[in-house]
Structure 1
Amino acid sequence: MNGKAMQSLLCLGRFLGCFLAFWACSSSDQADSDDSRPWKVPEEANHRLNPFQDEASVEAGQALYNVYCWSCHGASGMGDGAAGGAMGSQPADFHTESFLNQTDGAIFWKISQGRNVMPSFDEILSEQQRWQVTAYIRKLGEGMAETLAASPVSLREDISIQHYLKVPARAVRIFYQPETDALWYATFGGDVYKIDRSERPLHAEKVITATEHGINRLQGATVYGNTLFLAGNIRVNDNKGTTGWMMRVELNPLGNHRVSKVFSTVEYGTTSTPFDHGWSAVKVSPDGRYIYVVSGSRTDHGEVQDNKGAYPNSRNEPLTAGIFRFPIDAQDVLLPNDLEALRNAGYLYAEGIRNAYDFDFDKDGNLFAVVNSGDYDQSEDMFWVREGHHYGFPWVMGGLDTPQQFADWYPDPEKDPFLNTSAAAWPEGFYNDPQFPKRPEGIAFTPGMRNFGPDAVKYRDRATGDIRDAFEEGTSIVGFTAHSSPLGLNFDREHWLGGSYTGSAFTLRYTNGTKSSLMQPFTDSGEDLLQLRVTFDPEVSNFRLNTWRIAEGFSQPVDAVLVGNELYVIEYGGRQRGGNIWKVIFPKTDAL
């Protein structure tokens, strides 16, 4: 069970990489990924009886589950939450015989104690609350609790939403091939599918697998002409380390696709935490000359993450927390873990970006990225990304300084309300960091875009700790409400959309405030679609935002692609049950 909220995509190399964006949890009824020993429940705990099993207790347990446990264990309780898939570990499946054969006392003890990346809830939830959660997951495992799938709804009269297609579990990307009028999607495990939009009934054809292209932790995928570009990670050193890869797949209608490597990286360390974001979003430049790819951070906020000593003193690495660029025809590039070498070779396009699980170009060729912040209550960024710029991570996120860099700061939730004790970074002590590195000399950080609302602009007041609404106060925040996990960024570059949507951008919020202990203090909305109006402000030499919620009710929406006046939204779909593609239909421009 887990109090962590989803942050891009995806990881989804922390998958959500977050995600997207993209968190990992240990199984509570199986061995840990790094510990072959099963849980050993003390006899006195094993024989305790649950004093809270009435209907009201089960309902209270469900509410707590939706905040603290859903992101890893999933709405179904099958261990299929996207956060739980982040590091390749398997959270407990409450429907298994081994789980159901446990006593309530054993389940309560495990919830209380925690293990590895699953935190202890002894100080987070009261004893009564832990028994209530125990009662709910017992009912969930026995198939007696309600687990209704969400159906998205439009919040505007001029747009409609239709179900398009069911997809397998762990879908992470959706993209479009105009030459064949085909939608494509990819899964975290490396399968890539094609949907011919003209065929009826619609069906998805599996085109290539991880066995063929080599990436078994896939988070980035796009198509350009007749070529797929796929990005992700491959574990090495007994899963303690990783390498980043991008593969090129030249498609052959008869099969036998030609596969070649664009780049790979030298080995660097993973972290055994929820914060390994990995290599994710991939986009080809509008002129077709370059391929861009995101590498997310390997830490929450720049702390030491040495994977239990395997990679001593490792914080962020030169190969992480940036956006990279390669010539479209690059072949077999080996990237060193050396900052100056990456800069001098021209591969490191922009630095200091924690986890840009998605990005897109506007009609003028400007590159924008939506970015996840960490477990501290800093807002989520949106950046105008330019070559050679540094965007501040780990020293600045969401327009706020990371407090670890200041010698007089000590992590105390009683004094600093930006610290959430249910966050993954808190119980592991990641905020205790007196050796936090100093800011690099001679580098000016490029600020994020300010958001003037009216939606997604809740923030925590720096002086009082209160949750406030910037739009109601006539002001703005940097980016989006904290812990939103924005992804699926799309611009209406061709002005296909009519009415108030012409020229807009759109992004999804993966997280839902009712299901996230991090986002809940700010809002009870999320898992929704935002319309963005992006305009240049010459006074600050940067772009600014306005945001509106226009649809809600998605279930783990992880990516989207705009095709004409239709936005196709794909859901992650857990680890077992699968998700959906939804078609959001906008009015067309009068010129068409």
Structure 2
Amino acid sequence: MKNTLLVLMTSINLIACAQEKSYDEYKKGGKGEDVLPSAITPTQSDVSISLFKKLGHLPVRVVHDPATNTLYTCNIDGWVFKVPIVNGVAGEESGFLPPNEHQINYLQGMVFYNNTFILVGNHNYENSSDGYGVVEKCTILPNGERQWTTMLKTDVYPSSGTLFDHAFAGICLSPNKDSVYIASGSRTDHGEVKNSGNYIGLREVPLTAKIFRIPINATNIQLPNDETALTNSGFVFARGVRNEFDMAFNSENRLFGIENSGDRDDPEEMNWLQKDKHYGFPWRIGGNDTPMQYTPYNASQDKLIPADALARNIFYNDPGYPARPSGVTFVEPIKNIGPDANWVRNPSTGTMYQSAEITTFTGHRSPSGLVFDIDSTLQMPYTGSGFMLAYSPEGEGGYLPDEDRAGDLCQLKLVYDAASNNYKVSTKRLITGFIKLTDAEKVGNVIYVVDLAANLWKVTLPKLVAPVSNFLAIQSDNCLRKFSFQNQSANEPMTYLWNFGDGTTSTEKNPVHQYATAGNYNVTLTTRNPQGSTSKQSVISIADPYIITNPISGNASIKGAKTIQANNLIYSGANVIYKAEKHILLKPGFRVDVGSVFLSGIGGCEN
């Protein structure tokens, strides 16, 4: 996240000092800036937000322990903090894992499961630009002791010393908890060679811009800074991702990641991450070709470069730009179909406009905090959706366009598109007015959100509860044995099971069923969602003989009984059909007015 790292990278030179602080010392300083709750506004009436806890540190990640109902946060300096939830209220914050217990002095990623923390980041040397990626695992034993394991280290490689050197950051636990996915991050803006400053000549290296999949029980894996050796290791999951700052699985066990573009006004990406796929970086960003790969290139004529970015001289003619990998097809980002986060800059005129399809989000939103409703605990229209934060710095907001200032929580509704073998996403803003958002954790119908203003927010969405089954049976005018069943169940059922009482069933929401014979049938509807199931039973009666006594005007077709007994008046102008399977008995009270049409015959309902 470019804008996030503008704040986070300032911590690097202070890491050595921060590690020596006790928690009490750390707590005394740097509580961040206050954010007025009134500036944060839900856009939907069924979404609410409150300040859950003012923290004594600047959190970059938040995770939840369901066994103890405790939130854990971490900061860049390597601390892990603990915030218990007692009767729905945030308890006292305390330091839990200090940085001197592990190797990571630039901590950006954390997951938690079964009393185990997995931390991801880099160990940066104090007196040089060199460092290495690290994945550390800490299991809390029953007696409270901590068992640390180094899962992974990389070869030493140099930082580019820039704001867009993202390092090891994103981490995601697999659904069956047998492995973790780790994003290494890029160290360049657009793959350009570093042409100024202290690190001239650096580009991407084999360890950067990749996603690795590591077994959960891994110990002391050493990742080499060599492309062939990395490929042969079997740990490379995907390539060409600029900085997947957050990744998450949806309810279909498919992995998605979000990343931001560089200083150019390219769209930010959301990707469906798949094994052995290449997502284009640095040759493609946000669905656009990187122009510096083409020679000659005149940055001053590029309408997608903000004036401030142009002044930094990172866009220039770069004849040594690496060639695209041969024989590789790049996977394009997911298309965003709006209605929000879909602003694009016209490359010919430089003007902003809202696009019907953008790959994927408005440039410079810096998406973070991706979570999914994988357990379907939310009511419609949120059931099964994803949710994403968008970082927004203070003041001018970096390169954010006026049309989309980010700082929001958005709902993501993904729909698979068979034509492109990819997804499309509908993005809807739910809350606005945040600043410096870094991460989110969904717990039931609550999303906890943290920011670099030292706030822990609580976002509450409507909770899905077990359905209440109910239905209405409507007998057909044209066939007495045929019924339309209208579902009237409440609380968002997801599945329907109808038992029509004659040995047949249906899973349709509103089925139509025709009985073979007259009689009484016990019809049962069972509805279910992830919160439970209920049933509703009703008796359907099909009379035989079917006796008609009420007068008829207009059109009527009565079929289906073995015997029809008619003792009624058919008014002038009516058009009536009686059709029975065996007998039609016209009783003394039956009369047909002049000017009407009456037909009768032996037969049944059409199948």
Same fold? TM cut 0.5: yes
Offset at residue 22 of structure 1 (A): 3.5
Task: Say which of 206, 210, 228 aligns to 1:340.
Answer: 228
CA change 1:368–1:405 in 2 (3 A) is same
Matches within 5 A, 1:185-264: 185-198=73-86, 202-236=91-125, 238-252=127-141, 254-264=143-153
Q: Which residue of 1 aligns with 2:392?
A: 511
2:306 counterpart of 1:420: yes
> What SS does the aligned partner of 1:378 have?
coil
Task: Say which of 425, 428, 431 aligns to 1:551.
Answer: 431
Matches within 5 A, 1:12-411: 18=2, 21-23=4-6, 82=7, 85=10, 87-88=12-13, 149=36, 151-198=39-86, 202-236=91-125, 238-252=127-141, 254-305=143-194, 313-411=201-299
CA RMSD of aligned residues (A): 2.2
CA distance in 1 between counterparts of 2:74 and 2:53 reads: 14
Offset at residue 589 of structure 1 (A): 1.3
8 Å CA contact 2:160, 2:202 repeated in 1: no
Offset at residue 206 of structure 1 (A): 1.7
Task: Say which of 438, 443, 451 aligns to 2:328.
Answer: 443
CA distance in 2 between counterparts of 1:207 and 1:518 reads: 37
CA distance in 2 between counterparts of 1:307 and 1:244 reads: 25
Amino acid at match of 2:308: S
CA distance in 1 between counterparts of 2:142 and 2:93 reads: 15
CA distance in 2 between counterparts of 1:89 and 1:211 reads: 14
Offset at residue 433 of structure 1 (A): 1.8
Q: Which residue of 1 aligns with 2:446?
A: 566
2:457 counterpart of 1:582: yes
Offset at residue 453 of structure 1 (A): 0.1
Q: Which residue of 2 aligns with 1:481?
A: 362
8 Å CA contact 1:231, 1:280 repeated in 2: yes
Offset at residue 166 of structure 1 (A): 1.3
Offset at residue 176 of structure 1 (A): 1.4
CA distance in 2 between counterparts of 1:428 and 1:211 reads: 39
Amino acid at match of 1:440: P
1:413-472, Cα deviation, whole Å (9 max, x unpaired): xx221111212x6424443422111111111100000000000100011332221111xx
Offset at residue 153 of structure 1 (A): 2.0
CA distance in 2 between counterparts of 1:547 and 1:184 reads: 28
8 Å CA contact 1:281, 1:359 repeated in 2: yes
> What SS does the aligned partner of 2:278 have?
coil
Offset at residue 333 of structure 1 (A): 0.6
Offset at residue 309 of structure 1 (A): 6.4
Task: Say which of 352, 359, 382 aligns to 1:467.
Answer: 352
8 Å CA contact 2:392, 2:435 repeated in 1: no
CA distance in 2 between counterparts of 1:431 and 1:83 reads: 27
- TM-score normalised per structure 1: 0.72
Offset at residue 201 of structure 1 (A): 5.8
Offset at residue 565 of structure 1 (A): 0.3
> What SS does the aligned partner of 2:100 have?
helix
Q: Which residue of 2 aligns with 1:502?
A: 383
> What SS does the aligned partner of 1:526 have?
coil
8 Å CA contact 1:87, 1:273 repeated in 2: no
Amino acid at match of 1:492: D
Q: Which residue of 2 aligns with 1:529?
A: 409
CA distance in 1 between counterparts of 2:35 and 2:152 reads: 43
CA distance in 2 between counterparts of 1:430 and 1:376 reads: 9
CA distance in 1 between counterparts of 2:352 and 2:396 reads: 18
Amino acid at match of 2:324: R
8 Å CA contact 1:282, 1:294 repeated in 2: yes
User: After the TM superposition, which of the residue ranges 549-558 and 357-366 deviates more from structure 2?
Assistant: 549-558
8 Å CA contact 1:508, 1:557 repeated in 2: yes
Matches within 5 A, 1:448-459: 448-459=333-344
> What SS does the aligned partner of 1:560 have?
strand
8 Å CA contact 2:365, 2:405 repeated in 1: no
Structure with larger RCO (C-alpha < 8 A, sep 6+): 1
CA distance in 1 between counterparts of 2:285 and 2:13 reads: 27
8 Å CA contact 2:60, 2:75 repeated in 1: yes
CA distance in 2 between counterparts of 1:509 and 1:309 reads: 31
CA distance in 1 between counterparts of 2:383 and 2:66 reads: 21
8 Å CA contact 2:192, 2:314 repeated in 1: no
> What SS does the aligned partner of 1:550 have?
strand
CA distance in 2 between counterparts of 1:491 and 1:367 reads: 11
- Runs of at least 5 residues in structure 2 that lack an aligned partner in the other structure: 16-32, 467-530, 532-607
Offset at residue 313 of structure 1 (A): 3.5
Offset at residue 307 of structure 1 (A): 8.3
Offset at residue 230 of structure 1 (A): 0.3
User: After the TM superposition, which of the residue ranges 243-252 and 432-441 deviates more from structure 2?
Assistant: 432-441
8 Å CA contact 1:22, 1:86 repeated in 2: no
Amino acid at match of 2:138: V
CA distance in 1 between counterparts of 2:51 and 2:198 reads: 48
1:497-530, Cα deviation, whole Å (9 max, x unpaired): 0021111100011026963241135x25311111
- Runs of at least 5 residues in structure 1 that lack an aligned partner in the other structure: 1-7, 9-17, 24-81, 91-145, 574-578
1:203-258, Cα deviation, whole Å (9 max, x unpaired): 22321111012211100111111111001111127231111101010113654311
CA change 1:198–1:237 in 2 (3 A) is closer
CA distance in 2 between counterparts of 1:538 and 1:188 reads: 41
CA change 1:201–1:481 in 2 (3 A) is closer
CA change 1:461–1:22 in 2 (3 A) is same
Offset at residue 479 of structure 1 (A): 0.7
Offset at residue 175 of structure 1 (A): 0.9
> What SS does the aligned partner of 1:85 have?
helix
Tell me the matched-pair count.
Answer: 448
Amino acid at match of 1:446: V
1:56-106, Cα deviation, whole Å (9 max, x unpaired): xxxxxxxxxxxxxxxxxxxxxxxxxx256265479xxxxxxxxxxxxxxxx
Identity of paired residues, percent? 35
CA distance in 1 between counterparts of 2:35 and 2:56 reads: 18
CA change 1:368–1:499 in 2 (3 A) is same
CA distance in 2 between counterparts of 1:437 and 1:167 reads: 45
CA distance in 2 between counterparts of 1:306 and 1:252 reads: 50
Offset at residue 314 of structure 1 (A): 2.6
CA change 1:583–1:352 in 2 (3 A) is same
CA change 1:512–1:237 in 2 (3 A) is closer
Structure holding more strand per residue: 2
Offset at residue 178 of structure 1 (A): 2.0
